[in-house]
Structure 1
Amino acid sequence: MDAPPFTLRQLSYLIAAADEGTIAAAGARLHVSPSAISDAITELETQLGEPLCVRRRAHGLTLTTAGTQVAAHARRLLADARELTLSLHAAEGELVGPITIGCYPTLAPTILPPLLHDFGDAHPRVELDIIEATHDELDGRLERGEVDVAFVYETLIPGNPRRERLFELPAHVLLAAGDPLASAERVTLEELVDRDLILLDAPPSSQHTLSLFARRGLTPKVRHRTASYEAVRTLVGRGLGYGILVQRPANPASYEGYPVVMKEISPPVPPVGIEVIWPAATPPAERTRALIDFARSITWPGPA
């Protein structure tokens, strides 16, 4: 078999330049000079007989149509090369190597403990790295290979990844234990609309909460917005308002120790799916596939 007219190093330089957007940033990421990056890309273009990128001094670097195609193949080749190296250092049937896990912040306390503890114990030579990020912050990171697998809400999933449903939960109302509605079996949105809402303001949670009211022709009165799930629980525990949340922690108290109660919404609202996603363009490594299968095997929490 004839050797290809290019090297993996040239491909890695092209990918770095495409991801970083400039030759200089790619050089800084790879700890090589910008001229080395530029020369490698130029040589790659000569060998392939196609312009792969457009370089503008003030506007950075953009891939051409051919460059986009080459970059997609290059990512797979580089991933295969990494897996080949790792496989040489693994016993038969042993999983070895890194997995970068993306996780929506409010899902992290539910999703991450069994993965880090149980899957980690079963496969001690797999390195599990965590990135907590909202859906918009995950945009593009799967495709660029920065994240191997992510756990997210079904709404607003960036790109077009492979996906599987793990479990689903309907939103609930969170109230202080001393709230007049705390003794009710269920709570309607009409009962809440004129009261103060502590809004979890992180996409897609904020959009989902507001959409529940909009479907019933209501506009809630937002008193405070916070991107912190625990801050919502703490402010509700102090009696500053109510919250609309999806995750259901077993702890019946806020971070400060104030008791809170969860109440189902009446009439029932559609459940929100929690899904595991991974890149569609590249088959997952064996260890990543094992993590996905492990996540699917867990009995996740449901409504009380």
Structure 2
Amino acid sequence: MPEIPFTLRQLAYLVAAAEDGTIAAAAARLHVSPSAISDAITELEHGLGAVLCVRRRAHGLTLTSAGVHTVTRARTLLHDARELGRSLQSVEGELVGPVTIACYPTLAPTILPPLLDGFGAAHPRVTLQIEETTSDALAGRIESGQVDVAFVYDTLIPGAPRREKLFERPAHVLLAASDPLAAAETVRLEDLVDRDLILLDAPPSSEHTLSMFASRGLTPHIRHRTSSYEAVRTLVGRGLGYGVLVQRPANAASYEGYPVAMKEIAPPVAPVGIDVIWSATTAPPPRVRALIDFARSIDWAPAR
């Protein structure tokens, strides 16, 4: 059997340097010396007989075409090696190992509690690592294997991952309970356009809200912008404006305790889908597949 001209450690160091952009950054993250990473990459290049990267002191590390190919294949080899180690540590049928879950902040209060509670209880040896992140920060992280699965709105999905819709919900108007429109069954956007909007300014929520108005030839008057879902509810509860939100908490009061009212939009607006996404290039290990299946089994109907 021919000798393998590289080690998993050499591959891991190359992948880390490619992801962090510099050898120094990769060394700091892995708690090793920069020379250890540099020497490992050099030895890997000698073993493979190819230049994998160009190293410039002021500009970091740039992969060659051979380096891009090697990093892509190395990620698969490292993933399979880790899974082999975990399979030997588990008993028959038991799921073991980490699952990194990314979730948009506005979805986290809806998605994470039933997922962490139910799946965590069923599979105690699976470590669920949570990252609340926006769509721009998520880009590339599923493809690189840094994130195993993510829960996102279907209006803005980075890359081309595998995906499955879990549920969908239309946006609603949030009003202070004392607002005269709170007594109506539905609210028209035309009745709101001259009022003060408290905009949830976090992609894709802000784009979705503004596009709803634009589709009817309307431009809302934005009084305040905030990236906090609960801040929108609090400001609305105080009567400082109205909000347009998708997620529907069971609590009909703001963080401060001010009562709020959720009203359907008339005519109805298209619902927003909430998807689970995962890598299209790497088959998910059993524990990730099990988490996806568990998410599909949950009744996501909002509490009434």
* TM-score normalised to structure 2 length: 0.97
CA RMSD of aligned residues (A): 1.2
1:235 CA drift (Å): 0.4
1:89 corresponds to 2:82: no
1:302 CA drift (Å): 4.9
Q: Distance in 2 between matches of 1:36 and 1:129?
A: 29
- Is contact 2:250-2:302 (8 Å) kept? no
Q: Distance in 1 between matches of 2:46 and 2:187?
A: 68
SS at the partner of 1:88? Answer: helix
Tell me what 2:76 maps to.
76
Look up the equivalent residue of 2:272 and give its one-letter code.
V
Q: Distance in 2 between matches of 1:179 and 1:283?
A: 51
- Is contact 2:250-2:303 (8 Å) kept? no
Tell me what 1:231 maps to.
231
Q: Percent identity?
A: 76
The runs of at least 4 consecutive aligned structure 1 residues that moved more than 6 Å come to none
Q: Distance in 2 between matches of 1:187 and 1:39?
A: 66
Tell me what 1:130 maps to.
130
* TM-score normalised to structure 1 length: 0.97
- Is contact 1:169-1:303 (8 Å) kept? no
1:24 corresponds to 2:24: yes
- Is contact 1:168-1:302 (8 Å) kept? no
Unaligned runs of 5+ in 1: none
Tell me what 1:248 maps to.
248
Larger displacement relative to structure 2 (139-148 or 173-182): 139-148
- Is contact 1:98-1:129 (8 Å) kept? yes
SS at the partner of 2:106? Answer: helix
Tell me what 1:188 maps to.
188
Q: Distance in 1 between matches of 2:106 and 2:225?
A: 15
Q: Distance in 1 between matches of 2:46 and 2:2?
A: 18
Q: Distance in 1 between matches of 2:146 and 2:221?
A: 39
Q: Distance in 1 between matches of 2:180 and 2:147?
A: 45
Tell me what 1:154 maps to.
154
Matches within 5 A, 1:1-304: 1-302=1-302
Unaligned runs of 5+ in 2: none
1:303 CA drift (Å): 9.1
Q: Distance in 2 between matches of 1:257 and 1:11?
A: 54
1:3 CA drift (Å): 3.7
Look up the equivalent residue of 2:119 and give its one-letter code.
F
